[in-house]
Chains A and B, each alone.
Chain A
Amino acid sequence: MSLTNRWRRFRSAEAWRWLTMIVAIAVGLVAAWVHWAGLFVGGALVGLASATRGRALLAGFGFGVLVVALFVVALFVGGDLTQYLAMGRIVAISLALPPVVAAFAALSRWLV
């Protein structure tokens, strides 16, 4: 059995799929905290863990939104949210980057 088929079979078991998704999100978040390439890694991993291609795109987008949410919470806790929200175009860029990049990376679901 090819590696692709093994992964498909593994993913078809719902419990394993959810576990894989959680691990993918965790790995992706840690990677995104360390380097911007983590947005690609996280998006690709949650895409691969998704049941369907449509859900993969949603999962990638959702991962990006989660990154943004975590970022905003971190700024709020650190007392920097007000200054961040005043940054104009930079805010728009930083909010758009994770969902777009992660959803794009979730196209990896089309590979397997």
Chain B
Amino acid sequence: MDSDLTRRALVGAILAGGVGASVFSPVRGYLERFAPLSGSAWDATDRPDSRTIEGPYGAAEVRYDEYGVPNVTGESEEALYYAVGYAQARDRAFQLDLQRRQMRGELSAVVGEQTLDSDEFRTKMDFAGAAQVTWDSLADSRAGALTEAYTAGVNEIMANDPSALEFSLLEYEPDPWTPVDTILMQKQIAWTLTGSFRTLRTSLVADRLGGEVAEELYPSRLDHESPIIRDGGIDQASQQGSRTEHESSPHTVDPALADWLSQFESPSGIGSNSWVVSGEHTASGAPIVANDPHLSLMAPPVWYEMNLSTPATSVRGVTFPGVPFVVIGENDAGAWGFTNTGADVIDFYRYDTRNGEYRYEDEWREFETEQRTIEVDGGENKQMTVRKTVHGPVIEREGERVGVAWTGHTAESTPQAIYQYSQSEGLDDIVEATRNFDVPTQNLVYADRDGNTLYYVTGRIPIRTTDGEVVPGDRIFDGSAGEGEWQGFTPFGTSSWEGFVPFEEKPHVMNPDYIGTANQRVVDDPEHYIAEAYSDPYRGIRIYDRLDRRAQSDEPIDPQFVKELQRDTLDLRAEALVPLLVEIARAADDTAEIGQYVDALDDWDRRMERDSLAALLFTRWFDEYRERVFGPTFEEHDLGSSYYPNDWVLQHLGPDSRWFEGRSRAGVMLDALDAAIEEIEDAEYDTYGGYNTTGAMDHPLGLDFLGYPALPTDGSRATVNNYAVENPTGSSWRMVCPMDGPSQGVVPGGNSGSYYSGHYDDQLELWADTEYKSMSREIRGESTLTFEQGDDQ
């Protein structure tokens, strides 16, 4: 009996200990998430085929088409956008919450210390404060009312059914969505497209390497002849005046601060292509709009496609998850798309300070301060002071500070503009809507079914003055001395915009025959300063080259040609450099071992195609060459590769350039070729498609299974068919909209962000092969979600 008791006591203790360990240790987390049958990780597999939801806004229906695109109908706009919110959250709930957390500086609360820097930066920039004042100004508008309906729809999922796998993996549930969160999503994309610290970086390079070198590396104007608005098609208002010359800043910036800030601006490669061709040059006599915005490529995609219909409107296109309205798309009247203008809408200021005060002109003022706490999962919360001046937020880091003025830091009406695009009935409506488009600065292209075409720069562009004189924004201003003032701008308030470039004076062309945009210089001689610099012009040159040749030929432009242009893989960097490289390699004495590679380059058509060895060799050679040219000097001055100049500057370095001092250009080119060949052989790549794959498109959580499979694809960062595998950016949406025929589009991945959905990556192969699917505005698909007026509403 005693031994029985002892045994029972022992076993009982073991069992109790085991159960206790399961309940009070990390094991419990594994059980809760991954226990078969009951684990929360499997909740997302349980998606009913159809469902009826009672809501406060009336009847609506969601059908999913063959690519998981919600085809949403509503008896009213409120009912429609309520259903839109529900569908978006059903498909992208985690993405919504992650983006909101990032912009609010609340990532560390769920992922830990690794995102503390991001949270610190975004808390100090107070994007949330800017979103709040924007919402306050919009709440009573039509767009505001519909955002409220959308928010209620999102919360049907966020509050009641947050089944996304990622919530389970990170072990948290999302807070309810708010209209301010929707505005935050718009601030996020505005920041992505206009939040540049180029001024600080240029200033730092000038400080380290000298002003002359900085001017050479970061020219404000690249030497090419292919601006967006060219001779013959320029609106008169845009032709006057002369361009501003770059001047180095008299005020320096702390290097560590500039380095730290650089991680929070757009990744290189953010850009886009678009063009509109009028009926003058098309086979049908009706215009065609084409657009492929280049943004970060990831799983799930940055865009969410929707097909929306009410008795009064029909619109299809893509939006950012978290935003109710179609941003790029087509309605009954016409189609519109955007590329980034790259206008300079951000300035930086230094101040004289003393004891918590800063000097502004003749008086000492107290910083507007607020204490914030950043929560850290599994770590110590961080306390932080947010400071602001008359110009905007102040970014501080280890005792160094810089003031920031950004057009997104005020109440603005862009959501109203985006809503108005959906409602537009033609060219005049689009122009009126564009007046409300405050941030970001974009190149809008538009065509309608009446045959009109349009190019217009959107967004508020500041006119800076110092002592009453207009100055460009490519320098750090002395904020205490009143330099670089923006008249009519009230950060975290409501701006009058009275001192900004008037709408009519912004670059635009009414009814161009055709116009192409690819983030290149807008116009040679703008009336007003627009930007510090623009992107590499390779895509812009190629687009105009092909459009020009086609327009001057006997063959009219048709949708097939437009798609072929979006597929174009000719790399103009290779056109310029490969003949020289081959000549140098052939002239060298020791190239017998690499003869096959030199032959491949020589025979190559300069197209970045997946089955090409030469394309693979060129892309690796180019980056090795870049590293060998700039690396030694930059490293010597403690500057990383993010400070290297763009590809156009590298391409145009002549043999006598200062960057080859002590070396020969030919020698550097050959060294780079040897290194590229070694790299290729070590990695056992056979063709470009082995290196250039969709596998680079990761999920933000970094888990392999949530990323996309590695499909070979074409294109480089310099080709019209745009894909930068080294820093996955590129065509985040491809759209071709003929005004008299079926429109098509494709996203890089799938419309659903639910890992278990068949639509998680069902467009990836189409995208990799530069194929398209229908974006018909006909309502299609099985009825999945039915929304009814609730009894208690």
B756→A83 contact, CB < 8 A: yes
Q: Is B35 interfacial (CB 8 A cutoff)?
A: yes
Question: Which residues 737-763 of B have a CB within 8 angstroms of A?
Answer: 755-756, 758, 760
What's the interface size class on B, roughly?
A: 20 to 34
Q: Which residue of B lies closest to A34 (CB)?
A: B38
A39→B12 contact, CB < 8 A: no
B35 partner residues in chain A, CB cutoff 8 A = 32, 36, 39, 94, 97-98
Q: Which residue of A lies closest to B44 (CB)?
A: A80
A35 partner residues in chain B, CB cutoff 8 A = 38
Question: Which residues 542-575 of B have a CB within 8 angstroms of A?
Answer: none
Q: Is A51 interfacial (CB 8 A cutoff)?
A: no
Distance between Cα atoms of A33 and B37 in the complex (Å)? 5
B34→A32 contact, CB < 8 A: no
A36→B7 contact, CB < 8 A: no
- Closest chain A CB from B358 CB (angstroms): 52
Q: Is B283 interfacial (CB 8 A cutoff)?
A: no
Q: Which residue of A lies closest to B40 (CB)?
A: A36
A88 partner residues in chain B, CB cutoff 8 A = 703-705
- Closest chain A CB from B397 CB (angstroms): 37
A107→B39 contact, CB < 8 A: no
Q: Is A15 interfacial (CB 8 A cutoff)?
A: no
Distance between Cα atoms of A35 and B11 in the complex (Å)? 24
Interface hit among B13-21, B314-322, B489-497: B13-21
- Known contacts A40-B19, A87-B705, A94-B39; A107 and B11 CB within 8 A of each other: yes
A36→B38 contact, CB < 8 A: yes
Question: Which residues 67-86 of A have a CB within 8 angstroms of B?
Answer: 67-68, 70-71, 74-75, 78-80, 83, 86
A32→B705 contact, CB < 8 A: no
B34→A94 contact, CB < 8 A: yes
B34→A111 contact, CB < 8 A: no
Distance between Cα atoms of A80 and B14 in the complex (Å)? 37
- Closest chain B CB from A54 CB (angstroms): 15
- Closest chain B CB from A59 CB (angstroms): 16
Q: Which residue of B lies closest to A111 (CB)?
A: B8
Q: Is B419 interfacial (CB 8 A cutoff)?
A: no
B36→A97 contact, CB < 8 A: yes
B45→A90 contact, CB < 8 A: no
With beta carbons under 8 angstroms apart, the residue of A40, A71, A108 that contacts B36 is A71
Q: Which residue of B lies closest to A105 (CB)?
A: B15
Distance between Cα atoms of A36 and B8 in the complex (Å)? 25
Distance between Cα atoms of A101 and B38 in the complex (Å)? 14
- Closest chain A CB from B179 CB (angstroms): 34
- Closest chain A CB from B176 CB (angstroms): 26
Q: Is B30 interfacial (CB 8 A cutoff)?
A: yes
A and B contact pairs by CB, cutoff 8 A, 18 listed = A33-B37, A36-B31, A36-B39, A67-B36, A70-B37, A78-B46, A80-B45, A83-B756, A88-B703, A93-B30, A93-B34, A94-B34, A95-B36, A97-B36, A101-B31, A108-B11, A110-B8, A111-B12
Chain B residues packing against A (C-beta within 8 Å): 7-8, 11-12, 14-15, 18-19, 22, 30-32, 34-39, 41-42, 45-46, 703-705, 755-756, 758, 760
Chain A residues packing against B (C-beta within 8 Å): 32-36, 38-40, 67-68, 70-71, 74-75, 78-80, 83, 86-88, 90, 93-95, 97-98, 101, 104-105, 107-108, 110-111
